[in-house]
Chain A
Amino acid sequence: MNQPVRGQRISVEVNGERHERDVEARRLLVHFLRDDLDLTGTHVGCDTGNCGACTVILEGVAIKSCMLLAVQADGRSVETVEGLAPDGELHPLQEAFSSFHALQCGYCTPGMLMSAKHLLDHNPEPTEGEIRRAIQGNICRCTGYVNIVEAIASAAKGGGR
């Protein structure tokens, strides 16, 4: 039987690699990723669950890592944007974002990529409407979304224009 604790040692698989750390119960997953594991690709945007810059994939499901405690990820697996290009070779979505100029300042991009990956993992041939709904939880203040939608559509078709 587990009693409530202020903090605990957690073991989280991140991008295929297991990490063990002592964390306080109040620590958010996004801070665990950025500050404890130095995986700073996952961004903190609004910190209110609206903007989606902190989106990661937990057990195959896209979530906002500013609304999950790190202790909740104990024993679970997480994919972050760093996991898209483990050997430095860009993921097809990243290639498409680059060739379609689907970013300007780039702040939303990691979260946008993880939402796009979650979409294509579950729906390899999305319509434009499905793409737009899939990134509804990811706010971009630069692009107007058009190139992002085109990039995701292109990646779904195997790349290219």
Chain B
Amino acid sequence: MLLAPVEYARPSTIEDAVRLLGEHDGARPLAGGQTLTNVMKARAAAPDVLIDLNDLPELRTISRSSDGGLELGAMVTLAELIRSSDVGDARPILGEVAAQIADVQVRNRGTIGGNICSNDPTNHLPPVVAALDATMTIRGSEGERTVSAEEFFVGVYMTAVGPGELLTKITVPAAGGAGDGFASIPIGRDGTCICNAAATVDGGQARLALGCVAAVPVILTSAAEEAAVREAVKGANLDPPSDVHASSEYRRHLAEVVAVRAVQEAAG
């Protein structure tokens, strides 16, 4: 498919990337391109300028923070999350869920930053970073700011990353005594999720994030017992969308099912 004409730059510093994003109206960051390229083919998005982030090695680092948590560069690929021993030691759920996204080739290019910034409600990682209470670092011409998952996810395909800004880092707190879980009903193995949920359970208390049922991950807290989780999901008064894969009512039912499974895995 021939894309619409577009301009392209591949900056080698974050400063230049942010400056270019700020200088050009209609500029979009190009991360792994596993969503954006296809969206451009379908003419569903028409950026004037692509700012390729693939020459910014500082966005590609995985490190342990002083408290034992994780600092993940936005351009860390899903394959790198899967392979990382730091991720495996600190919060293995991140690699386990990344391994359920699409296929080898997509995981080789697709990035954690791209997965959460595209904020397709069916994506895997938005509920995971929300359940893990990660914070997102956003760089703009005015400097850096850090936002919580509650603030980060704004709407379908929309996040707190504004024009001229760039997500640079995802900071995941140390697990401490907490366990993590994820459950989904996908369309075929590793396919798009019809419904998904991520959970962190610490001392009998669960922090849950439900995906595919609203414009943004629905974050809930509840006791970790099954009845309490079901009650919390019911109490959220979800009004999920209907599509060819599931009616709204069925998706509401699945939300309860995957929430319970995610919490049980986390409490495991």
Chain A residues with a Cβ under 8 A of chain B: 1-6, 8, 24-28, 31, 47-49, 52, 55, 61-64, 66-69, 71-72, 74, 115, 118-119, 133-134, 136-138
Contact = CB atoms under 8 A, between A and B. Distances in A.
B106 A64 contact: yes
Contact of B103 (A27, A48, A74, A137): A137
- Closest A-B pairs by Cβ, 8 of them: A137-B103, A25-B8, A4-B7, A26-B3, A4-B9, A136-B103, A67-B37, A137-B105
Nearest to A26: B3
Contacts of A63: 105, 108-109
B135 to A, nearest CB: 30
Contacts of A67: 33-34, 37-38, 109
A1 B103 CA distance: 36
A5 B190 contact: no
A33 to B, nearest CB: 15
A47 B5 contact: no
Nearest to B9: A4
Nearest to B12: A2
A49 B7 contact: no
Interface string B8-25: 111100001000100010
Given A4-B24, A69-B33, A49 B104 contact: no
B83 to A, nearest CB: 10
Given A69-B8, A69-B33, A26 B2 contact: yes
21 contacts: A1-B11, A2-B9, A2-B16, A3-B9, A5-B9, A6-B7, A8-B8, A26-B4, A26-B5, A31-B2, A61-B108, A61-B109, A62-B108, A67-B33, A67-B109, A69-B33, A71-B10, A71-B52, A115-B104, A119-B104, A133-B104
Contact of A137 (B4, B10, B24, B106): B106
Contact of A52 (B27, B37, B103): B103
A25 B6 contact: yes
B78 to A, nearest CB: 12
B11 A2 contact: yes
Q: Is the interface of A mostly helix, strand, loop or mixed?
A: mixed
Contacts of A133: 104
A20 B184 CA distance: 46
A68 B106 CA distance: 11
Interface of B: 1-11, 16, 20, 24, 27, 30, 33-34, 37-38, 41, 49-52, 54, 79, 102-106, 108-109, 189-190
Contacts of B27: 4
A10 to B, nearest CB: 11
Contact of A49 (B11, B16, B38, B79): B38
A47 B7 contact: no
Contact of B37 (A2, A5, A49, A74): A49
Given A4-B51, A6-B7, A72-B52, 20 more contacts: A1-B16, A2-B16, A4-B8, A4-B49, A4-B50, A25-B50, A26-B2, A28-B37, A55-B105, A67-B33, A67-B38, A67-B109, A71-B8, A72-B30, A118-B104, A119-B104, A136-B104, A136-B190, A137-B102, A137-B103
A139 to B, nearest CB: 10
A2 B20 CA distance: 9
B20 A62 contact: no
A64 B41 CA distance: 15
A72 B10 contact: yes
A47 B8 CA distance: 21
A45 B102 CA distance: 17
A8 B79 CA distance: 30
Contacts of A49: 34, 37-38, 106
Contacts of B30: 69, 72
Nearest to B48: A4
Nearest to B10: A2
